[in-house]
Amino acid sequence: MKKLLLATALVLLASGANAATINFTAQEDGGPVQTITTPNSFSTIGPVVFQDFTIGATGTTQGTLPAPGLLQGQTIDVQTQSTAAHTLAIQVLGLGLTGPGGLQALLSGFDATGLSAGWTANISTDINNTIIATSTFAGPISGGHDSSLSGFTLPGTFNASVDFLIHTNGIGAANLGGALSATQAVPGPLAGAGLPGLIAAFGGFIAWKRRRTLAA
């Protein structure tokens, strides 16, 4: 069985001022989890071969959180020549993020720039193993987008991830993305998050989505 070819993994360095780091994990059909750790807050791997798939992935995190701010912006590109059905789980994890704590309004954004016919993809945002929001896409699709606003109490230090669960039914490909942004502290109900912070968060998500579209 093919292993993840770490020697072919390209890891791009970023500024050392950000203490947060990015890790990548991959798992096929519930088997062993393969992890790539990086020392950077912006990292790209691939294309790398993992069992039946060729994977490319990018992860970035702001690291500190003066709202509004980007917690996570992730992109994955997956291809397979296998005619069998498989399940592929990929996580792009930001470790050691810091913030002001307290109840925050979090904006999750999801997109599927490409997804083959018969494939499905579930994308979720997560903080400290608690799912913030999730969205499911079914192929064929070439421009699916979704977003969700949630309230969440952030600790002072935390981990944040975008998780991708892909079900395939044969040869195909997927290009997927997920982002998690903070708008601002919430003094009361989520509706009190404030329009300026929400607009800023959506602006950050739109800029991230535009970069994804140009890169696809």
Q: Give the Cα separation of 203 and 209 in Å (integer).
A: 10
Provide the number of structural domains found in the chain. 1
Both structure tokens of 11: 């890891």
Residue 101, domain member (yes or no): yes
Q: Is residue 125 part of a domain?
A: yes
| Whether pLDDT at 44 is above 60 | yes
Q: How far apart are CA 74 and CA 40, in angstroms?
A: 14
Greater pLDDT, 15 or 71: 71
Residue type, 3: K
Region 4-25: what's the mean pLDDT?
55
Domain housing 176 = 22-28+46-61+68-186+194-215
Residue 199 has pLDDT above 50, yes or no: no
180 or 63, greater pLDDT: 180
* Residue 128 region by backbone torsions, left for phi larger than 0, else alpha for psi between -120 and 50, else beta: left
Mean pLDDT across 137-154: 88
Q: Do 148 and 107 contact (CB within 8 A), yes or no?
A: yes
187: confidence class by pLDDT, cuts 50, 70, 90? very low
What pLDDT is attached to residue 135? Answer: 95
127 assigned to some structural domain = yes
Whichever domain contains 146, its CATH number is 2.60.120
Within a domain: 206: yes
More confident residue, 192 or 136: 136
How far is residue 160 from each of residues 17, 63, 70, 163, 179, measured CA to CA in Å?
19, 10, 11, 10, 10
Closest CA to 82 of 176, 166, 178, 175: 166
**Three-state DSSP class for residue 202:** helix
pLDDT given for residue 145 in this prediction: 85
Quickly state the pLDDT bin for 210 (edges 50, 70, 90): low
pTM of this prediction?
0.81
Strands annotated E in the chain: 21-28, 34-37, 42-50, 53-60, 69-80, 86-98, 102-115, 120-127, 130-138, 144-154, 157-168, 172-185
Identify whether the C-beta of residue 210 lies closer than 8 Å to the C-beta of residue 145.
Answer: no
User: How far is CA 76 from its chain centroid?
Assistant: 8
Helix (H, G, I), strand (E, B) or coil at 205: helix
A 10 A CB-CB count for 82 gives: 14
Residue 15 inside a domain? The answer is no
What's the pLDDT tens digit per position in 71-107? 777 889 999 999 999 999 999 999 988 877 788 888 8
